[in-house]
Amino acid sequence: MLLHIEGVLSAEDLAECRSALADAQWVDGRGTAGFLSAPVKQNLQLHWQDPAAVRLGELVRARLERNPMFLSAALPQTILPPLFNRYAGGGHYGPHIDGAIRPVDGTNRRIRTDLSITVMLSDPADYDGGELVIGDLMGGRAIKLPAGDAILYPATTIHEVRPVTRGERIAAFTWVQSVVRDDGERQLLFEFDAALQQLPAGGDGDSAKLQLTNLYHRLLRRWADL
């Protein structure tokens, strides 16, 4: 499931992020790339221990944890602390995959990466290129979102960031372990939940809505992996 989530970050959140990142100490992004990914990765990142990365990562994660669409679609069990990257001057990230298991930095824990999410911090008018291309059966979708919006997609996909030829593209990104491992089952539950939310409350429909809500939770119990 590929999902565009609008307005994860407010204008005030974006201003706070941009102010902190303007003075940030960026490092070579290849430090977090795997063996196959490092040769095709040319960008900058904040180290996970950088104070700005820690503070802004907590902000981004808090906004995700209260976003109804994200919660319904991802059914998150664990959200890794978000990281931050910067592309400029031809910076890019060629076709690559995300590792199936990632460590939780600073701990001895690991998570299964079911979903990837990118939250845009730069206005698309401020840079050229930099599209996130997510592979699918049609060859790939090129995505360029407004600042504050996010794209949620299966971590199993081959994806890339095209070269930024003008300006700079800054984003937050992270991975999610869902309580529902299978992408098809998560999508069914998301569509089921979205349909439930459209049903009117009150009157004779309440009984049917209760029955359908019960069915949703029975499916969730069947598929949840806790």
HEC readout, 19-39: HHHHCCCEEEHHHHCCCCCHH
Domains and CATH numbers, the chain: 3-178 (2.60.120.620), 183-223 (4.10.860)
Residue 147, exposed/middle/buried by CB under 10 A (0-12, 13-18, 19+)? buried
Residue whose structure tokens are 């979903």: 115
3-class secondary structure per residue, 136-148? CCCCCEEECCCCC
Confidence of residue 163 (pLDDT cuts 50, 70, 90): very high
Is the pLDDT assigned to residue 82 strictly greater than 90?
yes
Instruction: State how far the Cα of 1 lies from the Cα of 183, in Å rounded to an integer.
Output: 7
**Residues 36 and 19 sit within 8 Å (Cβ to Cβ):** no
pLDDT of 8 above 90: yes
What does the pLDDT read at residue 141? 87
Confidence of residue 36 (pLDDT cuts 50, 70, 90): confident
Confidence (pLDDT) at 138: 67
Q: Is 14 a residue whose pLDDT tops 80?
A: yes
pLDDT tens digits along 111-150? 999 999 999 999 999 999 999 999 876 678 899 999 999 9
Q: What pLDDT, on a 0 to 100 scale, did the predictor assign at position 136?
A: 78
Confidence label for 202 from pLDDT (cuts 50, 70 and 90):
confident
